[in-house]
Structure 1
């Protein structure tokens, strides 16, 4: 008797769960040669709304965790990703048409990026913060705090896994929660990464991954009043200027598109932080 294969269903990742799109829509993911590879959920604006609600609900717990704790959680992601390395290599070979060596290099670089950012989680405040010199009997301290809910358009096309990690990890380090629109043409690695997140110590709602059309979803995220910031890293192929205008209506911080995949940097961590400055007396005498 011939056994029937069980094809994988690539779903959304919202609030720690794996729902299908509320619209029931899917789209075909093709190989570089145009052959059918898989069906992925085509997220709608209602899915984007649900993702923002989940991100907002998770913000207090994630931003309130210590930097050390967040670093341990991010390192756990790297550990689990290492354990599923071969699966990610196979998916990148199939979806991006890479050689096995090139796919392995991308996966290894993505794992290293998680480790790099995990190491900064309990250190960036000391580097980005400051004790300000003042003339008086008091201290003046500036400390970076998370911006809040960050909507991200991940780099599209090539380097789908590395591009996703490069924009999600730094936002998490700072204590933000994220709603990310994955690569439309190569979403498989993003969905598999969500399975890693679900089985790691990342609380549900901290990362929410949508698959589908950035052109359809991005305007709703840009205009959503409960989104605090917008990272347009992968928005080069859509009208990002219009997204900036839409985001300005609700006073969002906007990070403009960048060519290729953003390299790990402290600047990306502090890009979505707000600086809080406090005054404290040295003595009551």
Structure 2
């Protein structure tokens, strides 16, 4: 074969290799499993990978992982994976109680007006992250965008509602009592101490706010177990608390199984009250029995389940308050007009 004919064949092969399949040829190639071109066009920016959010506990003003290092999968309303949430242990629960007890003196000792200002600041920060929470609530509860945003707005309003009660509660539930005798008799509500809260399972944000805000408004400190199936909005809410003026330890948020954490909190000798809203059936009964060991105040779950969209009353605040009564002689006027 001559050099000229060889050169011609090479040119023909090169020309054929540079051709793109057209029409039916292209379809046949794709059908046969030929990979499609995924590279961006010249000059176009390369697609970026989103940054996955790491969810952590909120204990003592910090964001630790679970003491046991375990996590569990959280899925959306359609069953699709959303994130991994920390699976808290009994040690995490004990650490949260210790942090809440340490913060109690400072939080309960603040003036009622100052507590109201701090809680209002929480509402400000929650409002600023409304879009993020709307996405998380929509994923958790299977709501459309507008319905989820309405839930977030309601949560902000609920928090503001409780913030306004901090310096009014004493006048409403306390006061002077009429007695038959020359005495002053004054009743004053005071925070009971550390309150364990099992958050509602169905309402991931509005329900959470509705059980946490009244505890903080009274001057108590809280250890909250987030909804087991829908914990992500609650864990994000810990970030809101951290960037507000709430002292570290005043509110602590755990995620995990109520079956693991509930008995530890119910039987803990340094917990003064427990809200069993997130417990159901026999579980609530067992926790109530465990809570009787140190005479905790117990708020039983409602039957039927509460409608979190309705305006709350004072029940959640008064259930974690202690009423202290003082007797003092009034004295009597003497002949010269002197008094005691």
Q: How far 1:261 moved relative to its partner?
A: 4.5
Choose from 170, 180, 199 the match for 1:135.
Answer: 180
Partners of 1:231 and 1:170 in 2: CA distance? 11
- The aligned counterpart of 2:329 is 281
Q: Is the 8 A contact 1:155 1:261 kept in 2?
A: no
CA distance, structure 2, for counterparts of residue 208 and residue 17 of structure 1: 9
Match of 1:223 in 2: 267
Q: 1:238 to 1:78 in 2, by over 3 A?
A: farther
Q: What TM-score, normalized to structure 1? A: 0.96
> What are the ranges of 5 or more consecutive residues in structure 2 without an aligned counterpart?
1-45, 332-338
Could you tell me how far apart the structure 2 residues matched to 1:104 and 1:70 are? 27
Structure 2: distance between partners of 1:130 and 1:228? 24
* 2:238 is the counterpart of 1:190: no
Contact 1:155 1:233 (C-alpha < 8 Å) held by counterparts: yes
Q: Deviations over 1:172-202 (max 9, x none)?
A: 1111000010011111110111100000010
How much is the aligned-residue C-alpha RMSD, in angstroms?
1.3
Aligned to 1:256: 300
Which sits farther off after the overlay, 168-177 or 256-265? 256-265
Contact 1:75 1:118 in 2 (8 A): yes
CA contact (8 A) 1:117 1:264 kept: no
Deviations 1:251-285 (A, max 9, x none): 11111012135552212111110000012233463
**Aligned 8 A contact 2:71 2:84 in 1:** yes
Higher relative contact order (CA 8 A, sep 6+): 1
Find the partner of 2:58 among 4, 10, 13: 13
Please state whether the residue corresponding to 1:160 is helix, strand or coil.
coil
Q: What corresponds to 1:165 in structure 2?
A: 209
Give the aligned partner of residue 20 of structure 2: none
2:196 is equivalent to residue 151 of structure 1:
yes
183-192 or 45-54: which moved more? 183-192
Aligned to 2:290: 246
Structure 1 residue 2: Cα displacement:
4.9
* Structure 2 partner of 1:48: 93
The whole-number CA distance in structure 1 between the counterparts of 2:228 and 2:282 is 12
Distance (whole Å) between structure 2 residues aligned to residue 235 and residue 68 of structure 1? 33
Residue 236 of structure 1 deviates from its aligned partner by: 1.9
- SS state of the match for residue 275, structure 1? strand
| Structure 1 residues without counterparts, runs of 5 or longer | none
Deviation at 1:137, TM superposition (A): 3.0
Q: Match of 1:249, SS? A: helix
Shift in Å, 1:238: 5.9
261 and 187 in structure 1: CA distance in 2 versus 1, 3 angstrom threshold: farther
Please identify the structure whose Cα radius of gyration is greater: 2
Q: TM-score, normalised by structure 2?
A: 0.81
Equivalent in the alignment of 2:38: none
Question: Does 2:119 align with 1:119?
Answer: no
